[in-house]
């Protein structure tokens, strides 16, 4: 990656990096490292091997798409890599922290400080205004109401919704609602944003607006994005596409 700390260096890194998914050793600049991660759901008889030994490294400032058929394990990968869910075996390291060694509480705090999440369905509380939805994670983590409001307004500004802060989700379009969830994901100034089918509920034009917003946040601020998507148009806007089949990475495409 030719980016560090949000700055685009004038000269692209000349090294042709070996695209070896099995090489899980943490490379310089890698912010997410998975080593032989497996995930088995259920008990005897009803076991589902959702991840069958996934190794993956994502660099700081990279924008990666995870693609594959429904049921191939994309959401499981995102949940395990982000620490939302436990792995069955293997290891996950985020910014040098082995997340399996953290207690549940420490992991929740670690996520809150380092990561934002965007889902297909917006997960916005209908009774709260846009700005209240965005500030909620801050209020919950003990930030003062005044500072929370200022930071939420700044986050809404980053997604182009400064003037819509008082509206409730029902008064916003689908694209605007997804912008609110992106603002909420940014409110803690995370380094990584995980997105699971962020354009899945949007028409293609609105989807394009949302991915353009993510691209801008990636380019201008060096945010690392991991985006699970069915949508080839979304994948095509990323630096790299990871293709999954049956719980395994079968192919990688480096696009830029
Ligand atoms: N909580 C769960 N309990 C049991 N099986 C699950 C659970 N979540 C996902 N699975 C199964 O794991 C596999 C991968 O699911 P998922 O990661 O949701 O796929 P994708 O996001 O690619 O559609 C599927 O076979 C799915 O049915
Ligand atoms: Mg899924």
Residues in the chain: 256
Over residues 49-72, mean pLDDT? 97
In this structure, the residue with its CA closest to atom 25 of ligand 1 is 71
Domain 25-254 has CATH 3.40.50.300: yes
Pocket test for ligand 1, best of 73, 84, 200, 230 (most atoms within 8 A of CB): 73
247 Cα nearest atom in ligand 1:
14
CA-wise closest residue to 229 among 21, 50, 77: 77
At 44 the pLDDT is 81
Which residues, 6 or more positions from 47, have their beta carbon under 8 angstroms from its beta carbon? 40, 41
In the chain, the percentage of residues whose pLDDT exceeds 70 is: 89
Closest ligand to residue 73's CA: 1
Q: Say yes or no to pLDDT of 28 above 80.
A: no
In this structure, the residue with its CA closest to atom 17 of ligand 1 is 73
Distance CA(56)–CA(33), nearest Å, equals: 6
Distance CA(250)–CA(245), nearest Å, equals: 6
- Residue scoring higher pLDDT (255 or 23): 255
- Kindly report, residue by residue over 108-118, the tens digit of the pLDDT: 999 988 999 99
In this structure, the residue with its CA closest to atom 3 of ligand 1 is 41
Q: Say yes or no to pLDDT of 200 above 80.
A: yes
70 Cα nearest atom in ligand 1:
23
Which residues, 6 or more positions from 178, have their beta carbon under 8 angstroms from its beta carbon? 118, 122, 198, 199, 201, 202, 206, 210
Over residues 141-167, mean pLDDT? 95
Over residues 204-222, mean pLDDT? 94
- Residue scoring higher pLDDT (9 or 185): 185
In this structure, the residue with its CA closest to atom 5 of ligand 1 is 41
At 121 the pLDDT is 82
Residues with CB under 5 A from ligand 2 (ion): 74-75
At 253 the pLDDT is 97
196 Cα nearest atom in ligand 1:
21
Over residues 211-224, mean pLDDT? 95
> Ligand 2 centre from 77 Cα, in Å?
9
Q: Say yes or no to pLDDT of 22 above 70.
A: no
Given pLDDT bands bounded at 50, 70 and 90, which one contains residue 23?
Answer: very low
- Kindly report, residue by residue over 107-152, the tens digit of the pLDDT: 999 998 899 999 888 789 999 999 999 999 999 888 999 999 999 9
In this structure, the residue with its CA closest to atom 2 of ligand 1 is 41
Q: Say yes or no to pLDDT of 20 above 50.
A: no
Given pLDDT bands bounded at 50, 70 and 90, which one contains residue 8?
Answer: very low
Distance CA(100)–CA(98), nearest Å, equals: 6
CA-wise closest residue to 187 among 220, 139, 228: 139
Pocket test for ligand 1, best of 37, 44, 50, 88 (most atoms within 8 A of CB): 50
Q: Which residues of 173-212 are buried (b: 16+ CB within 10 A; e: fewer)?
A: ebbbbbbbbbbbbbbbebbbbbbbbbbbbbeeebbbbbbe
> Ligand 2 centre from 248 Cα, in Å?
14
At 65 the pLDDT is 98
Tell me how many degrees the CA angle 255-81-190 measures, rounded to the nearest 5. 80
Given pLDDT bands bounded at 50, 70 and 90, which one contains residue 256?
Answer: confident
Closest ligand to residue 79's CA: 1
């Amino acid at each position: 990656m030719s980016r560090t700390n949000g700055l685009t260096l004038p000269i692209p890194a000349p090294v042709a990096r070996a695209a070896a998914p099995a090489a899980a050793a943490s490379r310089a600049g890698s912010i997410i490292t998975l080593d032989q991660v497996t995930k088995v759901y259920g008990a005897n008889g009803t076991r589902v091997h959702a991840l069958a030994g996934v190794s993956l490294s994502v660099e700081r400032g990279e924008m990666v798409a995870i693609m594959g058929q429904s049921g191939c394990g994309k959401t499981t990968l995102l949940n395990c890599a982000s620490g939302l869910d436990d792995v069955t075996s293997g290891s996950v390291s985020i910014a040098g922290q082995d997340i399996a060694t953290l207690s549940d509480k420490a992991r929740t705090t670690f996520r809150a400080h380092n990561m934002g999440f965007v889902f297909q369905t917006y997960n916005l509380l209908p009774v709260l205004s846009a700005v209240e939805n965005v500030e909620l994670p801050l209020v919950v983590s003990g930030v003062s109401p005044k500072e929370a409001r200022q930071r939420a307004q700044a986050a809404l500004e980053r997604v182009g919704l400064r003037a819509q802060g008082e509206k409730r989700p029902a008064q916003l379009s689908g694209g605007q609602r997804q912008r609110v969830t992106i603002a909420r994901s940014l409110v803690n100034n995370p380094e990584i944003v995980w997105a699971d089918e962020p354009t899945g509920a949007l028409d293609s034009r609105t989807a394009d607006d949302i991915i353009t917003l993510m691209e801008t946040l990636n380019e201008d601020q060096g945010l690392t994005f991991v985006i699970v998507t069915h949508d080839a148009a979304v994948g095509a806007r990323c630096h790299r596409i990871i293709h999954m089949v049956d719980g395994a990475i079968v192919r990688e495409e480096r696009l830029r």
